[in-house]
Every structure is written in structure tokens, then in C-alpha cells.
Copies of this chain bind each other. A is one copy, B any other.
Amino acid sequence: MKRSQIVLIGAGNVAYHLGHRFHQQGLDVLQVFSRKKTKANKLAKQIKTKAITDLQQLDKNGDIYIIAVHDSAIALVAQQIKKLIPNKLVVHTSGATPSTVLKPFFKNYGIFYPLQTFSISRKVDFDNIPICIDSSRKKNREQLTHLAKSISQKAYHINDQQRAILHVAAVFVNNFSNHLFHIGQNIVDQENISFDLLRPLILETALKVQDQDASKMQTGPAIRGDDTTINRHLDYLDKHPHYKELYQLLTSSIKQ
């Protein structure tokens, strides 16, 4: 299969990492669009392509147009480009938005969703990032799978319903666990104890479930039914009523 020529619409975290990865793997990125000129220029320069700040300048020679903008802007962007590239394959990269948001605008539409948390300041191990692709047409799915496999070892066909469920689960394992790390950090900060004491524990907790079921890795006072320790913790948490409520709900959830 011929290598697809890509147009990147967006220059945020996801577009930044996808763009760098495409470039690293020798794929053609024809253009990077961002409404913000400095952002578009910066990413375009880094991955040796052209920057545009006006969607009317969209290159019509692309094979795959990747919309990597905020969820709320996807439909807006789609509407603006539909007349320019009515027959092209247009995908978005969101875990939270159905593919069908693109249906009113394009015949060939789909999903190219890298399931990872991105920050511009951190390099990620792209080989291991699951790329979830979808399209209603088989030909498009094949093209997207081919693109996914050129940047990662893990390509999955995941439909809208499955992706919506994955996104809920991702909120639990990523957003909510980060919030628990934040609570742990707050607790020790307020007592002038270094968060460095907890960092290796956080890493090991994540490493343990890389090849094990999380249910089998559960430890701590709740699963042991150690009410002496639980009550000691609850006494301490009187000074953090909000954390206490979370502690109680999570403890009862583990005990179930």
C-alpha cells in the first residue's frame, strides 16, 4: 500500500506528537494548520513542512486529513473544509467524540485515536501506544490501519461505542488516578514531607498491572479488612473532610 500523504489540522498536544512521529517515521506531512500562527509555524518548522493559518489554503493533494483540535471545534472545522475536500478521508483524534460528528460533511470519515495522555514537554514511547482506528468503509479502515502500523506496533479497530467505553475507563485509570496522586502530594506537602517518598510507589503500582490483573494486585487496609488502620486514617483525615469522603467511598468499593 502506498504511503498516505497527511494533512494535520491542529497543533496542540496530539497534533504535536503525531506530527513528530510521522516525520520521524519518514511519512509525508503536507501541511500543519493552526489558527495561531506561532504554533503552526513552530510545529511545521520542527517537522519540516508548511504552516497554514487559514483553512482555505488547505492542500487538496492529501490522502488523510487528521483533525486534532478540541472536541468542541471538530464539527466547526469539518464544516469549513467540506467543500474543499469533499471526497477525501477525514478523521479526528478524539476519544470522547463519536465518528458520526463528521458524517454530515464527508463520505469518507473515521477515527485515528492514539490512546495516550500527551504533554508537549514529554517524549512518549510511540511504539506501545494503542492506535484506535475506525471508519464505516472497509477501504478506509485498511488505509487507517496501515497508517497506524507505520507509527505504532498496536493498531486496533474500535467502533464508536467501544471507544466511548474505553474513554470512560481511561478517565478512571488516568484522570482519576492522577487526582489521587495529587491528593497524596497535598497530604504530604502540608506536613512538609517530600513527595519523592511516594514517587517510587506510584511507579511500581503502575508497573505491577502491566502484566497482571489489577484485581490481583490489590493491597492495603481495605482489602485486608484492617479496620484499626482504616479508623486511624479516618481520624487523621478529619482535617481534610473532602478527602475523608473519598477515602470512605473508595474503601467501601474495595471491600465489596
A contact set with B: CB distance below 8 Å: 71-72, 96, 115-117, 119, 122, 124-125, 128-130, 132, 154, 156, 158, 162, 164-188, 191, 193-210, 213-215, 217-223, 226, 228-229, 232-233, 236-237, 242-243, 245-247, 249-250, 253-254, 256
Q: Which residues of B contact A243 (CB under 8 A)?
A: 172
6 other contacts beyond A172-B247, A175-B218, A178-B205, with CB at 8 A cut-off? A172-B184, A174-B220, A177-B181, A202-B206, A203-B207, A205-B206
The docked-state distance in angstroms from the alpha carbon of A142 to that of B179 is 37
Q: Which residues of B contact A130 (CB under 8 A)?
A: 196-197, 200
**Which of the residues B124, B194, B217 comes within 8 Å of A119, measured between beta carbons?**
B217
The docked-state distance in angstroms from the alpha carbon of A233 to that of B176 is 13
The docked-state distance in angstroms from the alpha carbon of A72 to that of B206 is 28
Q: Which residues of B contact A221 (CB under 8 A)?
A: 96, 171, 175
**Which of the residues B164, B165, B173, B187 comes within 8 Å of A165, measured between beta carbons?**
B187
The docked-state distance in angstroms from the alpha carbon of A201 to that of B172 is 11
Decide yes or no: A250 and B179 within 8 Å by CB, A233-B171, A236-B168 being known contacts.
yes
The docked-state distance in angstroms from the alpha carbon of A242 to that of B236 is 26
Q: Is the CB of A193 within 8 A of B177?
A: no
Q: Which residues of B contact A183 (CB under 8 A)?
A: 169, 172-173, 253
- How close is A14's CB to chain B, nearest CB, in angstroms? 12
9 contacts between A and B (CB under 8 A): A117-B201, A117-B205, A156-B197, A170-B184, A173-B198, A176-B180, A179-B218, A184-B214, A205-B206
Q: Please name the residue on chain B nearest to A161 by beta carbon.
A: B191
- How close is A20's CB to chain B, nearest CB, in angstroms? 16
**Which of the residues B168, B209, B213, B254 comes within 8 Å of A233, measured between beta carbons?**
B168
Q: Please name the residue on chain B nearest to A236 by beta carbon.
A: B168
Q: Is the CB of B202 within 8 A of A116?
A: no
Top 5 A-B pairs, shortest CB-CB distance: A175-B220, A206-B206, A181-B214, A173-B184, A182-B214
Q: Is the CB of A177 within 8 A of B158?
A: no
Q: Which residues of B contact A181 (CB under 8 A)?
A: 172-173, 177, 209, 214, 217
- Most chain B beta-carbon neighbours within 10 Å: one of A173, A191, A199: A173
Q: Is the CB of B179 within 8 A of A232?
A: no
Q: Please name the residue on chain B nearest to A215 by beta carbon.
A: B182
- How close is A172's CB to chain B, nearest CB, in angstroms? 4
